[in-house]
Amino acid sequence: MKRINYLLSAAIIGGIAACSPGEKVAEEADLPPGPVAEKVPTELTLHGDTRVDEYYWMRLTDEQKKAEQPDEQTQKVKDYLEAENEYTSTLMSHTEELQAKLYDEIVGRIKQTDESVPYKNKGYWYYTRYEEGKEYPIYCRKRESMDNEEEILLNVNEMAVGHSYYQVSGRSISPDNKWLSFGVDTLSRRVYTIYFKNLETGEILDETIPNTSGFAPWANDNKTIYYATKNEVSLLPEKIWRYERGAGADAEMVYEEKDNTFYIGAYKTKSDKFIIIYSVSTLVSDYWILDANDPKGQFQQFSPREQKHEYSIDHFGDKFYVTTNWDAQNFRLMETPDTKTSKENWTEVIPHRSDVLLEGIELFGNHLVVDERKGGLTYLRIMNQESGDEHYVDFGEEAYLAYVSTNPEFNTNVLRYGYASMTTPNSTFDYNMDTREKTLLKQQEVVGGHNPEDYITRRIYAEARDGVQVPMSLVYKKDTPLDGTSPLLLYGYGSYGATIDPYFSSTRLSLLDRGFVFAIAHIRGGQMLGRQWYEDGKMFKKKNTFLDFIDCGQFLVDNSYTSSDRLFAMGGSAGGLLMGAIVNIKPELFEGVVAGVPFVDVVTTMADESIPLTSGEFDEWGNPQDLESYEYMLSYSPYDNVSEQDYPHMLVTTGFFDSQVQYWEPAKWVARLREKKTDNNKLMLYTNMEFGHSGASGRFERYKETALEYAFMLDLAGITN
C-alpha cells in the first residue's frame, strides 16, 4: 500500500492538505503536527437546519473499497488513512519495545495447544481445538466416545491460506450427521458464502450460496436448508430462502421482510421439530414456524405481530414456551400448545417480577432452567417440572459472570454452564440438577500461572447526579494502593440493553500487574439492573448513559481510587459513542481515552438508511426524520459537538471494511478534533486497512492492536516496562 510521510505540510496529491489561512491545528509541544485532512464543505439539510460537514468526502462505497484499481477519491481516502497510521506509528515509536513485550506477554498466557470441552449431540462428541502457532480453530468430532478416532470437520488454518481475513460461521450438521453447511466471510463485512461438506467423503462441494447471513438450518429430510440473504447496499438480511442441496433447482423465497427496521433469520428448535423464521426489531418480535418433517410446507405465523411486544420461543414435547414482555416489563414465561400458538392461547408459567429480569430459559426432559438477573447478578434457577421443587445454583462470589452453556440434549439431568469472575478464569461446569453436585470440566489455563488470591474484585456504587446508584465492578492487585496514585482504566458500553458482566481477562493482567485498577461502569443503557435500566439509557434518555459514566469517573477520583491525571477511559462501537460524548462533556476528567470503532457521527448515519444498522435502530437512538429526535441526537452526537477546547490524549481505532460502524465516522471525527482542539495532547487514528468491526480473524493477530492500546495508556501513566 502507498504510504505518505505524515510530516509533509504542503498540499499532497491524494488528499492531505496544508492549513489554509485561518484554520487552526494544534501544534503539539514536542510532537510533530498530525495530518490535516482536506476540507470540502458539504451541506446537510434536514428540518430546515443545515449542518456543514467538511469531511463528508471521506465516504466510499463498498465497490470503491474492494476495487483492485482505486479511483481518485478512493486513493485520496486511503492516502489520508495511511498518513494517520504513519503518524500514529511515529508518535508511538518509542513504545515499540513495550508493545512487543506486551504482545508476547498476552499471547504467552494463552495455551497454544488447547481444546474445548466436548458436548454430545446425536451420537457424536463435538469440540474445537487449536494447535501451537496456528491462528485458526480446528472443528472436530468423535463418534459415541472420546476414545474413538477423530474426524476433522473443518481445519480453518488450511482454509484460510492466502487470505488476510477468514471467518467461518454458522456450522450446521444435518440430522443424519452426514452433511455440514457453513458460512465463510473473507472480507470482514459479515457477508457469508454458504458451503456444503460431505462428511462421509470429506468433499467440500462446488455448490455455494453467496451473500448470506451464514447460518443454514436443515430440515429433517437431510437435504433442505433455509437461509437469509442480505441487501447488497444496506447489508440487512431481508429474504429467507428454501434450498434443496444437490437438486439443481433454484432456491425458493419463503419469506420477505419489507420493513427495514427488522432483522431476520432462520433456526431449528432444540426439539428438532420446527424450523423457525424470526423477524425482530428493537421493540417487536415476530416468528413463523414450519414442521421440520414437512420442508416444502408453508410457514405459519406464531402470533400476530404487535407493536412493543418482544418475545422469544422454545419448544419441547407438544408445547412452546414463550418468554414475553406482554404486560411484563421484566418479562414472564408462558406456555402454549404447539398446535395453537397465537397469544390468546398462552398460559402463565412464571409471573412477572418487578425486581427480577427473566433473561432466558433452557429446557430439559424433566427440568426447566431459568436465567434470571437480580440486583445486577445472574442467577440460574433450577425447576424440577415433575416434583415442583426448585433451587438456585450457588456461585459464592460478590461479582461474577454465569451463563447457560451448550446443552443440545433433552434427556439428561445435567446442566452445563459457564462461570467466571474478574479474578476467576473462565470455567465450564456440569451440574447435576437432582443431586446439586458440580463437576469442574475445565478452567481456562493462564500459561505462566495465575493466582486469584493475588487480586481483589469488588462491587461499588457511584451516585449519579439524579440520585440513581450506578454499580461498578473493580479488580486490582492486592498490593495496588487506593490512595489516588494508581492509574485506573474505566470501561463502559451502555447501549442495546447489553450488560457487560464482570468477566475474566488474562489479557487484562498486563495492566493489573503493572499497578492499574480496572473498572466496569454498569451504566444505564445496559440491563444490569433490569429492563428499566435499559429504557432509562436509550432514545430521549440517552444522555443518562454519558452522565452516568462521567459520574462514575468522578466518584473514583473523589474517593481516591485514582486521580484525574491517572484516569483512562475505554469503549468500543456504541461504547465508542460513549467515549466521544464524555470527551465533549467533561474532557478534563480523563488523562487518556481509547475509542474503538466509535459510532460518533450519529445524526448523519441515522439519517442514511443505506448504511447497515441504521433503519433497524430507530427505536434505539431515534429517527432523525422526526424533528424531536433530530434535535435530541444532534445535541449529543460527538462529531457535531466537537468544540474549541482541550481534549485528553486520544487513540482512536477503526477498520477499513467495518460494516457496523463505517471507518469514515472515526476518520472524520479525528480530522475535526485535530482542527478544533486547543491542547497539546496526542490525537492518533489507527485504521486496520484489511479488517472490519471485530478486528483480525486470527487467534493471536488481534492482540497487536491490544498491545498498542495498552502501551498508549501505560506510556501516559509513566510505566515504561
Catalytically active residues are 573, 658, 693
With cell 430459559, the residue in question is: 361
Q: What sign for the dihedral angle of Cα 228, 243, 163, 204? A: positive
Those residues with Cβ within 8 angstroms of residue 147's Cβ, 6 or more apart along the chain or in another chain: none
> Which residue blocks in 140-212 are alpha helix, DSSP H?
156-159
Tell me the residue type at 674.
Answer: R
The one-letter amino acid code at 575 reads G
C-alpha cell at 717: 501513566
DSSP state, residue 356 = B
C-alpha distances out from residue 97 to 292, 593, 653, 706, Å: 58, 22, 21, 14
Instruction: Output the DSSP codes for 667-712.
Output: HHHHHHHHHH--S---EEEEEETT-BTTB-SSTTTTHHHHHHHHHH
Cα separation of the two ends of the chain: 32
Q: Which of 115, 175, 120 is nearest to 407 (CA)?
A: 120
Cβ-Cβ contacts under 8 Å for 253 (sequence gap 6 or more):
239, 240, 241, 242
CA geometry: angle 411, 416, 417, nearest 5 deg: 145
Phi and psi, residue 545, nearest 5°: -60, -50
What are the CA-CA distances from residue 44 to residues 47, 53, 133, 516, 603 (Å)?
10, 7, 50, 44, 10
For 354, other C-beta atoms within 10 Å of its C-beta total 11
Q: Put the strands of the sheet holding 263-268 in their side by side order.
A: 263-268, 274-280, 285-291, 300-301
Instruction: For residue 277, report the phi and psi dihedrals to the nearest 5 degrees.
Output: -100, 130
For residue 595, the Cα-to-chain-centroid distance in whole angstroms is 14
Q: Of 369, 375, 372, 377, whose CA–CA distance to 359 is shortest? A: 372
